[in-house]
Amino acid sequence: MYNIFFLLVILFVSTSSAATDTLQQTFSLSVENPNDTLVSSNRDFSAGFFQVGDNAFCFSVWFTRSKQPTVIWIANRDAPVNGKSSKLSLLRNGNLVLIDAARTLIWATATLSSSQLHLKLTNNGNLVLAAATSQPTVVWQSFNSPTDTLLPGQPVTEQASLVSSRSTTNFSSGFYKFYFDNDNVLRLLYKGPNLSSVYWPAPWKLAIDQGRSTYNVTKIAVLDSFGSFTSSDGFHFLSVDYPRKIYRRLKIDPDGNLRVYSFNEEEKNWEVSWQVIPEPCAVHGICGANSMCTVDPFLGRTCFCLQGFKVKNPNDWSQGCEPEFNSDFSCNRKESMGFLHLPTTELFGYDLNVTRVSSLEECQNLCLDLCDGCRGVQFKFNEVSTYNCYPKTMLLNGRDTPNFDGEVYLKLPKAILNSKKPIKHSTMKCSIGLSQRLNRIYHMPARNSTLSFLVWFTCGIGVFEVSIIFLVWFFLFRTNKQPGTIGHQQRHLLSATGFQRYTYAELKTATKGFKEKIGRGAGGVVYKGTLTDERVAAIKRLNEANQGEADFLAEISTIGMLNHMNLIDMWGYCVEGKHRLLVYEYMENGSLANNLVANNRLDWNKRFNVALGTAKGLAYLHEECLEWILHCDVKPQNILLDSDFSPKVADFGLSKLLNRDEERGSSGFSRIRGTRGYMAPEWVYNFRITSKVDVYSYGVVVLEMVSGRSPMEIQSLENSSGIEQRRLVTWITDKIKSAPSSGFWIEEIVDNNLEGRYDVSQVEVLVKVALQCVQDDMNQRPSMSHVVEMLQSHQNKTTPR
Ligand SMILES: *[C@@H]1O[C@H](CO)[C@@H](O)[C@H](O)[C@H]1NC(C)=O
Ligand SMILES: *[C@@H]1O[C@H](CO)[C@@H](O)[C@H](O)[C@H]1NC(C)=O
Ligand SMILES: *[C@@H]1O[C@H](CO)[C@@H](O)[C@H](O)[C@H]1NC(C)=O
Ligand SMILES: *[C@@H]1O[C@H](CO)[C@@H](O)[C@H](O)[C@H]1NC(C)=O
Ligand SMILES: *[C@@H]1O[C@H](CO)[C@@H](O)[C@H](O)[C@H]1NC(C)=O
């Protein structure tokens, strides 16, 4: 008993709980006390135990100013520790150790020092172990062993590379790496369980031809807080918001792309300000063997199997597809093999060698003769009227590229070739999903417990301490055998995605029984409500509940991940029985449509800023965020205005939620979406639907804002019928053409409600950009980010955003 008493005294003494930035020698941070964190003196960073799963914690550094803590660094990403009894201790000998409930050493800095050390979290997010002498000497620092994130000033070096997480919720080491290669060049590598390949810089070109030097052995690359990145191999970039001095981070995301995120102080969230790979399918390793990657405008990046193959694991497309046929490619079955032509396909790498041939037949025979060693060929015209033939040993890195200058022929049994089964697209589940329950539970073997207790009892105090912790923990564990009920899982999902699940009753109370109707959007009626925390919300009740709960949650979580100051914020949702509700922030000033009708509420400055902000929101949806989303119904009713008349795009990402049971045709969509007057011609003529449909609708909205005339109004005035919807555009282009000089048409088309108060050069650029956006040929329309660039250069420097 005396021993236990002594132990308790030690435990008590060695637990610090005040918010400080420094941990002294012989002290510990315990997983059980949420207050056991180091907080940098500017309060922007914290270091402590971060929950990564059910009862699973990692010792991490996170940024505290964002709405959700942003994990910057993790000590033990691949070995989370138990939520009981684990602790991080700075030992007397200078070693910083992380020990878990079973007394195993999980992680250590492996430092030894005879002088007094302390661990300090600095104001720039670096965790530094240094001697507490007058001249602090750094013994170890977290900046030298990054996880997947670099902070400004933190270098990538030969030893310090970035490795992505498995997924947005699983922080374990993933498959993508940003590193200095042996030839001194900075690269991105996919390193899967069985395969690895470099995908940036373009592996088919020499580094030197891509502006990289292979001679500087220094190997160092740094991002600064202004958004400029420089590397010793000559690679350099500036983020779009350069040179604003703000919080930034460079991160290799779980999807293999490298991005710079800038911190938005007003919204308290991160926005992408640079990314290295513009084309999502150019990242290797996404779809695995025998499959193809393609970008679907609604679902984002998708995989499908090549003809004759079926998916191995629909939840992990990186495992690829396996043959549906007898996969015996041996020489005695040579006669039964044929080839399938894939005209716009690229299968990068895994060529056996290259042979010059004079015909396709010769190339195919080469492949047939290689038997099991050849799964298909790539065939390419050579300058001197011969062809290059590349036999493929494996079919990997497949993607759809209309402008690829080679053709692929797959080797398949003739029986399969004749069956003419269409290629089926399957959706890749790249949703963040519900988090898995991670069990770090240590079962004490029952038959040994008494014995080991006795053994420990006779040992010294150090061991005793741990055994008591273990027993206490064991007791607690037994009384709380199932810590991971649905509730826990749910909460984890929430903390990962940042929004809340409400019960139907809560939302019914919030809206006083769905009384105050404030609008009707795609698929449902919107009500005003006040949540229990007093926030005013817009609550949308979706009409049909023909969707399973898991699917609904997966899609909702995708929408919940989108964060941009020009996109409406989703706070939560409700899914209960047949009820499906979405909870959004409430916008004081209603929609752009209301404000264009109500006289004089939108002066010129506000109109220009609405045009710019809406473009930014759409550009983010199209290009910058992790999922690629088309809006498909851009119109003034879907652009909401906050108290400062800043625009926020609403009703995005819902197309999947609302059109669940519609069959999708080969071009993707079989039904026209959108609103008459704002619809791009592609919908009508059944062309391929791309992000350019939103660009078109945006152009119409801008023309409407400038002229104050709705495209519908002009249609009815001029008594037009049918699908013809270019009246507003034609009206404006006619005015421009018939005007003697540029000054004249402006006066004629600008909304009379503005009473002559507008900036001529801004009107000019808006109309010019809008007319580019509404071109019939979608390839002639600019991208949304290009629109942002064009408008930004005309923004008044004094205008608020
Ligand atoms: C953590 O700190 C807060 C405020 O300082 C205090 O109210 C709370 O009791 C502390 N919790 C524990 C477990 O020490
Ligand atoms: C190598 O790169 C470093 C860091 O960018 C630079 O300071 C140095 O001058 C370079 N050395 C040579 C020989 O180019
Ligand atoms: C990796 O290769 C092994 C042996 O060939 C195979 O069993 C395993 O399924 C492969 N894993 C993946 C993810 O393809
Ligand atoms: C390509 O490799 C195959 C198999 O190793 C060999 O038979 C053939 O001669 C090679 N072709 C060339 C052009 O090297
Ligand atoms: C994270 O991924 C790793 C590797 O696939 C897996 O072993 C682990 O269980 C996952 N953790 C969670 C919390 O899902």
Domain 592-792 CATH superfamily? Transferase(Phosphotransferase) domain 1 (1.10.510.10)
Query: Looking at residue 428, what is its pLDDT?
Result: 46
Positive or negative: CA dihedral 704, 708, 714, 716: positive
CATH code, 485-585:
3.30.200.20
* 557: phi then psi, degrees, rounded to nearest 5: -65, -30
Tens digit of pLDDT for each residue in 727-745? 788 888 888 888 877 678 8
Please give the pLDDT value at position 546. 60
Of the residues 350, 352, 353, which should be mutated to test ligand 4's pocket, given the most ligand atoms within 8 Å of the CB?
353
For residue 213, give the ligand nearest its CA.
Answer: 2
The residue among 55 and 73 whose pLDDT is bigger is 73
Instruction: Give the pair of three-digit tokens for residue 221.
Output: 């690359």
Binding residue numbers for ATP? 540
Categorize the per-residue pLDDT at 228 as very low, low, confident or very high, splitting at 50, 70 and 90. Answer: very high
- CA–CA distance, 488 with 641 (Å, rounded to integer): 36
Q: Which residues are catalytic?
A: 633
CA distances from 15 to 2, 93, 96, 271, 467 (A): 20, 18, 15, 38, 18
Q: Is the CB of 800 under 6 A from ligand 3?
A: no
316: pLDDT strictly greater than 90: no
- Which residue's CA lies nearest to atom 2 of ligand 3? 194
Separation of CA 632 and ligand 2 centre (Å): 49
For ligand 3, is residue 89 a contact (CB within 6 Å)? no
pLDDT at 534: 84
Percentage above 70 pLDDT, the chain? 78
Q: How far is CA 461 from CA 454, 455, 789, in A?
A: 14, 12, 67
Distance CA 6, CA 461 (A): 9
pLDDT by residue (tens digit) across 414-470? 888 877 555 544 444 433 322 333 333 333 333 333 333 333 333 333 333 333 344
Is residue 551 very low, low, confident or very high in pLDDT (cuts 50, 70, 90)?
Answer: low
The distance from CA 775 to its chain's CA centroid, rounded to whole angstroms, is 31
Strand partners of residue 591: 640
The answer to whether the CB of 436 is under 6 A from ligand 5 is: yes
- Judged by its nearest atom, the ligand closest to the C-alpha of residue 36 is 1
* Fold equal for 1-145 and 146-278: yes
Residue-wise pLDDT tens digits, 653-701 = 665 544 433 333 333 443 456 777 888 877 776 667 778 889 999 999 9
Ligand nearest to the CA of 321: 3
**Residue minimizing CA distance to atom 6 of ligand 2:** 232
- Sheet containing strand 127-131, edge to edge, reads 22-24, 117-121, 127-131, 138-141
Ligand 1 within 6 A of 218 CB?
A: no
Q: What is the C-alpha separation between 275 and 259, in angstroms, rounded?
A: 4
What is the pTM (predicted TM-score) of this model? 0.58
Interval between CA 106 and ligand 1 midpoint (Å): 27
Q: Among the ranges 55-64, 108-117, 432-441, 474-483, which has the highest mean pLDDT value?
A: 55-64
Stronger pLDDT, 496 or 753, i.e. the higher one:
753
Residue 722 has pLDDT above 60, yes or no: no
Domain 1-145: homologous superfamily in CATH = Bulb-type lectin domain (2.90.10.10)
What confidence category does residue 365 fall into, taking pLDDT thresholds of 50, 70 and 90?
Answer: very high
DSSP E strand stretches across 548-638? 570-576, 579-585
pLDDT of residue 578: 84
Whether 218 is in the pocket of ligand 2, judged by its Cβ within 6 Å, is: yes
Architecture of the domain defined by 146-278: Orthogonal Prism (2.90)
Atom 12 in ligand 2: residue holding the nearest Cα: 216
Interval 15-57: pLDDT, tens? 444 578 899 988 999 999 988 999 999 999 999 999 998 889 9
Which candidate, 28, 84, 92, 21, places its Cα nearest to that of 57? 84
Q: Which residues line ligand 4 at a C-beta cut-off of 6 Å? A: 352-353, 355
Q: What is the per-residue pLDDT for 48? A: 95
CA-wise closest residue to 175 among 196, 153, 152:
196
| Closest C-alpha to ligand 2, atom 3 | 232
The protein residue with its alpha carbon nearest to ligand 4, atom 5, reads 352
220 lines ligand 2 (CB under 6 A): yes
Q: Is 41 in the pocket of ligand 3 (CB under 6 A)?
A: no
Ligand 1 closest atom vs CA 33: 13
What is the pLDDT averaged over residues 777-790? 87
Q: Can you tell me the distance from the alpha carbon of 15 to that of 328, in angstroms, rounded to the nearest whole number?
A: 65
* Ligand 5 atom 4 nearest Cα: 172
Which residues does the annotation place in the binding site? 540
Give the mean model confidence (pLDDT) for residues 309-332: 85
The two beta strands, 376-381 and 407-413, are: antiparallel
Cβ atoms 270, 261 nearer than 8 A: yes
For ligand 1, whether the C-beta of 19 sits within 6 Å is: no
Distance 36 CA to ligand 1 centre (A): 10
Sketch the domain layout of the chain as residue ranges: 1-145, 146-278, 314-435, 445-480, 485-585, 592-792
What is the rounded CA–CA span in Å between residue 91 and residue 1?
A: 26
| Token duo for residue 502 | 């409400």
Write down the architecture of domain 314-435 according to CATH: 3-Layer(bba) Sandwich (3.50)
End-to-end CA, the chain? 67
pLDDT, position 421: 57
Cβ of 25 closer than 6 Å to ligand 5, yes or no, is no
Q: Can you name the residues that pair with 700 across neighbouring β-strands? A: none
Provide the mean pLDDT of the chain: 79
- Model confidence over 577-596: pLDDT tens digits? 888 888 988 998 889 988 88
Q: Is the dihedral of CA 160, 164, 168, 172 positive or negative?
A: negative
Residue 644 pLDDT > 80, yes or no? yes
| Gap between the Cα atoms of 365 and 385, Å rounded | 19
Indicate which residue's Cα is closest to atom 11 of ligand 2. 216
pLDDT of the residue at 655: 56
Sign, Cα dihedral of 104, 109, 115, 120:
negative
Q: Exposed, middle or buried: residue 750 (CB in 10 Å: 0-12, 13-18, 19+)?
A: buried
Site to substitute for ligand 2 among 232, 233, 235, 236, most atoms within 8 A of C-beta? 232
Whether residue 232 is predicted with pLDDT greater than 90 in this model: the reply is yes
